[in-house]
Amino acid sequence: MNLRPFRDIKRRKKKVISVGKVKIGGDFPIAVQSMTNTLTTDVKATINQINELHDVGADIVRVSCPDKESSLSLKEIIKNVKVPIVADVHFHYKRAIEAAESGAHCLRINPGNIGSKERVYEILKSAKDNNCSVRIGVNAGSLEKTILEKYKEPCPEAMVESALEKIKILEDKNFFNFKISVKSSDVFLSVKAYKVLSEQCDYPLHLGITEAGSLIPGSVKSSIGLGMLLMEGIGDTIRVSLSANPVEEVKVGFEILKSLNLRHRGVNIISCPSCARQAFPIIETVKNLEKKLAHIKTPITLSIIGCVVNGPGEAAQTQIGLTGGGQGNNMVYISGMPHHKVASKNIISHIVDLVEKKSDELEKK
């Protein structure tokens, strides 16, 4: 049985670069990134947050290096984490050099705010010497004065021109191990800039709607913007920028990719919004199941539907399904087929047990 069928998205082929052990571009999985919000000089807190992000699936984590003490702190941080680290550097080229020498796997820089080309060249030499990749980060809010004078305001053409100028700086020094972003807090501006840039270069693209806002508004904006691009095959790594716990950024990022069938991780719960027909409290049940199944990393589809209107149809498309029934007798489906009944009071413990057993079974294959 073909459970939960989707239309495949054909990704636009880009060059492949390395961020530590993670490959970006080509046919490699779209990587999910986040960024720490601890003081980098608080090494213990930063290590703990990076490991927390890794536990929920982050492939790459970015760490801010605003001063020398921060960039030098990377050496100890990197020793104690399992995920590749990107050093976020603005303005001072020496911070980037220090970060590369401290073991950073990638440097996020905007050559336009680093200063002279000679300083950028020094960063590139250090990146080469330390097997470190680069992300060219172009933001609508920090475009160069000359470009803003030409275009009068941030626009897709201005952002792409800025990105292409930065690409040439790196190419002129035979440096090709880089990815690019052209971010804005405006969804339409970001989407158009990425589309134009994707047509003009074959370097991997890091997608994001920058400064998207708090959890719900930011998740909506990011889902729309990133979703539009990803559906057209554009994008090789993503970061959802939220004014929230960075863990939420990773969770939302994976939900976006899962909804487009681009990556699968953990339990994908299909659930109804609840109504007067519900045979058990849907909202509380789903909340509890999300918490109790958060440790599952194996991709599993689970449907939790409160009544028989849509329940059997959804269950037919998931690996495990639950449909509400009369008098507390709810039907459990396994691989799309009716299997047995469970009382409403036992739903959570029973479904958790089934999912954990299914996860163990799939991991052994």
Residue 217, pLDDT > 80, answer yes
**pLDDT single digits (tens) 78-125:** 999 999 999 999 888 999 999 999 999 999 988 777 878 899 999 999
* Helix-helix angle 117-129:93-101, to 10 degrees: 0
Check residue 1 and give its pLDDT: 42
Check residue 7 and give its pLDDT: 61
* Coil vs helix vs strand at 302: strand
Q: What is the dihedral of CA 239, 242, 243, 249, to 10 degrees?
A: -80
**pLDDT single digits (tens) 41-85:** 999 999 999 999 999 999 999 999 999 999 999 999 999 999 999
Instruction: Out of 34-38, 139-143, 155-159, pick the least confident.
Output: 139-143
Report residue 175 as tokens.
């440096």
Q: What's the mean per-residue pLDDT of the chain?
A: 93
Report residue 210 as tokens.
């920058």
Q: Are 344 and 306 in contact (CB under 8 A)?
A: no
Check residue 3 and give its pLDDT: 47
Alpha helices in 152-245 (DSSP H): 156-172, 187-200, 215-231
Which of 2.40.70.10, 3.20.20.20, 3.40.50.300, 2.60.40.1250 is the CATH number of 17-259? 3.20.20.20
Interatomic CA distance for residues 127 and 167, integer angstroms? 15
Domain ranges of the chain: 17-259, 267-364
Mean pLDDT across the stretch 219-226? Answer: 97
β-bridge mates for residue 133, sequence order: 106
Fold matches, 17-259 and 267-364: no
Check residue 286 and give its pLDDT: 96
Residue 5, pLDDT > 60, answer no
Q: Are 181 and 137 in contact (CB under 8 A)?
A: yes
Check residue 143 and give its pLDDT: 87
**pLDDT single digits (tens) 246-277:** 999 999 999 999 999 999 899 999 999 989 88
Confidence band of 365 (pLDDT split at 50, 70, 90): confident
Confidence band of 2 (pLDDT split at 50, 70, 90): very low
**pLDDT single digits (tens) 281-291:** 999 999 999 99
Q: Are 312 and 323 in contact (CB under 8 A)?
A: yes
The residue to which tokens 């693209």 are assigned: 205
Nearest alpha-carbon partner for 363 in 289, 292, 295: 295
- Homologous superfamily in CATH for domain 267-364: Sulfite Reductase Hemoprotein, domain 1 (3.30.413.10)
Mean pLDDT across the stretch 355-363? Answer: 94
